[in-house]
Amino acid sequence: MRIKFIRHGKTSGNLEKRYIGSTDEPLCSEGINELEKIKITCTGMLFSSPMIRCIQTAEILFPECPPIVINELRECDFGRFEGKNYIELSGDADYQSFIDSGGEKAFPGGETPDGFKKRCVEGFRKAVEICGCSGDAVFIVHGGTIMAVMEHYAVPKRSFYDRHTENGHGYDTVFDGKKIIITEKI
């Protein structure tokens, strides 16, 4: 099964390096302009997070292919950090504790990293079941969602933060039902 994972286009929050997870923020004009220059084909099923930035990205990249929305593929709920950037959080004891934990500690008032990762993997499995292991698929999702699925399935094994990808980019992969092999970066 060939699978493309594409991170949604830029939002104003992305430009300002804000934690934008559960905030349903639309693409900004710069994000739209960048996506309109990308040429990618969708030869199978198209899956998306329910967040507007992902739906808009899918509509721009694949206007002929309506996405199947998988709720479990949404971004992490960053709780009290939502909508803020590292400058605004500097001096916050909870934020420093999160940083010191290597990103493993729960977000105050939000999701735990493990809970988020498990949810994303469940959403990926759900989509694969819908598609069937012989079909191709494109996933328009969030950076964190891609990192969670890759951490679980990709070989060689790497940590969550090692699979970060920029907005409008991602991975072209092959999935054999047990592991993901990255064939190229998009």
Residue-wise pLDDT tens digits, 43-87: 789 999 999 999 999 999 999 999 999 999 999 999 999 999 999
Q: What is the mean pLDDT of the chain?
A: 94
Angle (CA) 86-90-92 rounded to 5° is 115
Q: Is the pLDDT confidence value at 41 over 90?
A: no
Buried b (16+ CB within 10 A) or exposed e, 86-102: eeebeebebbeebeeee
User: pTM score, two decimals?
Assistant: 0.94
Strands in 154-155's sheet, in edge-to-edge order, are 68-69, 45-48, 137-141, 2-7, 170-175, 180-185, 154-155
Please check the confidence at residue 135 and state whether its pLDDT lies above 90: no
Sign of CA dihedral 37, 62, 128, 72: positive
* CATH homologous superfamily for the domain 2-185: Phosphoglycerate mutase-like (3.40.50.1240)
According to DSSP, the β-strands at 137-141 and 2-7 are parallel
Q: What is the pLDDT of residue 131?
A: 85
State residue 128's pLDDT score. 93
Distance of alpha carbon 72 from alpha carbon 130, whole angstroms: 14
pLDDT on residue 30: 97
